[in-house]
Chain A
Amino acid sequence: MFQTAPCHLTASRWLDQIAEALDTRPVLRRHRREVARIIDPDALCRAAAARGLTVVEDGAHILIQNGSHRFPAASPCSSPRTPLTREGPGWEGAMANDLFNSFMTGPDEKGRFGIFGGRFVSETLMPLILELEEQYENAKTDQSFWDEMEFLWKHYVGRPSPLYHAERLSERLGGARIYMKRDELNHTGAHKINNVLGQIILARRMGKTRIIAETGAGQHGVATATVCAKFGLKCVVYMGAHDVQRQAPNVFRMKLLGAEVIPVTSGRGTLKDAMNDALRDWVTNVRDTFYCIGTVAGPHPYPAMVRDFQSIIGKETKEQMMEAEGRLPDTIIAAIGGGSNAMGLFYPFLDDKSVRIIGVEAGGKGVNEKMEHCASLTGGRPGVLHGNRTYLLQDEDGQILEGFSISAGLDYPGIGPEHAWLHEVGRAEYVAITDKEALEAFQLCCETEGIIPALEPSHALAHVMKIAPDLPKDHIICMNMCGRGDKDIFTVARHLGFDMSATEGRKAD
């Protein structure tokens, strides 16, 4: 029998020990995940009772007994507690204590995560969205669909992407052990292709021949153009005119891949406006066109579908972390524009209560009343846009504000509805990082690890830089390196005052 952890140990360490102990008791193994989630001893007590296990106390510890097996599971020193039995007082209250409710069951049949999500679209699109939902539900349980996905993920995208221990960065920051999930090594240079493959395979099953997409940084546009080229589908990408300018390399890539890139001039010419124009195209060409949305936003079923496709990131991370460290990470961190790379990493960990989850929004020039940022959760409030209810940057009249960020991929005034919900229920924390902090992280990553990150994950890395130094050396952080920075070198050069034209050398005649 192992020693029950005293309550001053970190929750995660303690849970690791419980999990370990449970492993040696096969009869309880199937409950392992649930039990390991419990942090609160009261909840553990109730949970055991719910399964018909006996809860006993020996003075110092709470022990859970099953037949002849008995193991200590909690130390009762954290709070005053009333032992509970199935018939005992407070049982209903115990069930209402949501610790046993999974965070992974959403959305509901109306496409909602709590009050967020939904299907706020015009009638012209409604029949299509319902058809898409039906087709996706069918595909989800169709092994041939996943077989095709897995084959392409492996042979076309290059999955699994490595989980990499950033030793020099960890050393430099002097605290936590930092891992990077290397989704920037995917074909096309970012996580975006994980989702695009799924949607295009679905589009082909639905008999659609024309694919449209919106893009901010251009990564989703490039991924869509790539997969369309592979399958011989017509591809039209809407991109804000401002982004066309600041992400020129990706525009050229899309053109090489045979896509038509339409610069969007309405609004301020960024991702939000590109999404409006993509929706207008879709309304006009509903019969042959599939709208391949690049993030976990839009009308149901998009937020759930994109999350499911991106969840490969978190699934792999979990397995790779178990292999590398024999346990789950303590903290996982990802950058958020609409939030697809973050949702992909977070989702498989939502019910692992020991794992702290942090989403990093783009703080632009700072989250204040000037609103020169894209931090929807930190600086916005609930509203309805682009088919879903979520947190939005808006003025007092309900007009949508333009975001502001150095990173085109984060420059969106909304956020996926599941993030809005995770924020409200408190399962994930959301913070903001400024342009300046992201640039510093960008440089540090180049110098210490030989990895040129995209500006988007540089935001996540900047938050790692903030918290890692104060964490113990055995604390494991995993951040999602969701994209590579090739596309951003011109922007970064400009911000660092570096003249690219002076280094070009002589042109060949």
Chain B
Amino acid sequence: MTRIDATFAKLRAEGKKAFVSYIMAGDPDLDTSLAVMKGLPAAGVDIIELGVPFTDPMADGPTIQLAGQRALEAGMTLQKTLDMVRTFRKDDADTPIVLMGYYNPIYNRGVDRFLADAQEVGIDGLIVVDLPPEEDEELCIPAQAAGLNFIRLATPTTDDKRLPKVLTNTSGFVYYVSITGITGAAEAQAGDVGPEVARMKAQTDLPIIVGFGVKTPETARAIASVADGCVVGSAIVSQVAAGKPVDEILAFVKSLSDGAHAA
């Protein structure tokens, strides 16, 4: 059982929905992002998604693109992201960490070496946007063999025929992308999301977490109420981009997690 599985078991027992937050590692610099990360559990974050900066984030909107550029300009790398997790783990043994990014930095490092390092520093799961089920042999299968969760995105274009393919080899949870589009785009609509979550629930026992287009405490609550939880990314990253101090960023995160947990 990974930390992710344990977290969902605990939330289920408490009758609570999950709140997942995304931040970009190294944005705007390593120290600030580490300070934000360390404060996330106290701000009510159940699972941390840590973005790995990449020069060509094809599925991300301008907010995350710019966060990646800031991080890269400040010298962030995959190695430093792994080190950042290692530092975080010194004080927090329980909060699950999911690394989210694109395949090339991992491929470049070497899949075996990356998986060994990821395990060693205390990473629990991976979301790799540009690895669909058709490319499972690349990373998904080796990652699961190494004991990491491989969390897959399901989208409005994933029809019932394709859904089983997406759910096979998925573990931890299913990340449902609420819109056809990029991160930080249109507002997610609970009315659209609810039936989609039900559609997936018919085919899997895994928790369904909804992301893309969740920006406010109200949306967080509305979306979490029709799923097992929600993810907020761009809205938090925008606070970092605006140069807000760490405590203000965390206060904003708290308002979002309160929203999700009230669902």
* A residues apposed to B, CB below 8 Å: 110, 118-128, 266-267, 272, 276, 279-280, 283-287, 383-387, 389, 392, 394, 396-400
Contact = CB atoms under 8 A, between A and B. Distances in A.
Contact of B159 (A127, A279, A384, A394): A127
Interface residues of B, number: 45
19 contacts: A119-B134, A120-B130, A123-B157, A123-B166, A124-B155, A124-B180, A125-B157, A126-B133, A127-B158, A127-B159, A280-B61, A280-B182, A284-B181, A383-B108, A385-B56, A386-B58, A397-B78, A398-B108, A399-B105
A339 B162 CA distance: 33
Contact of A122 (B62, B105, B106, B129): B129
- Residue among B54, B62, B77, B180 with the most chain A CB within 10 A? B180
Nearest to A402: B55
Given A384-B104, A389-B107, 7 more contacts: A119-B132, A119-B134, A120-B131, A123-B155, A123-B157, A397-B105, A400-B104
A120 to B, nearest CB: 5
Given A122-B153, A399-B72, A284 B180 contact: yes
A118 B77 CA distance: 26
The 9 A-B pairs at the shortest CB distance, nearest first, are namely: A398-B108, A398-B105, A284-B181, A397-B77, A124-B155, A400-B55, A120-B130, A126-B132, A122-B59
A209 B241 CA distance: 37
A124 B162 contact: no
Contacts of A399: 53-55, 72, 105
Contacts of A400: 55-56, 104
Instruction: Give the dominant DSSP class at A's interface.
Output: mixed
Interface in B28-78: 53-62, 65, 72, 77-78
B58 A276 contact: yes
B185 interface: yes
Contact of A276 (B56, B154, B166, B177): B56
Given A283-B180, A387-B130, A123 B54 contact: no
A201 B17 CA distance: 48
A306 B57 CA distance: 24
B55 A123 contact: no
Nearest to B161: A127
Contacts of B158: 123, 126-127
- Residue among A110, A126, A396, A400 with the most chain B CB within 10 A? A126
Interface string B106-149: 11110000000000000000000111111100000000000000
B87 interface: no
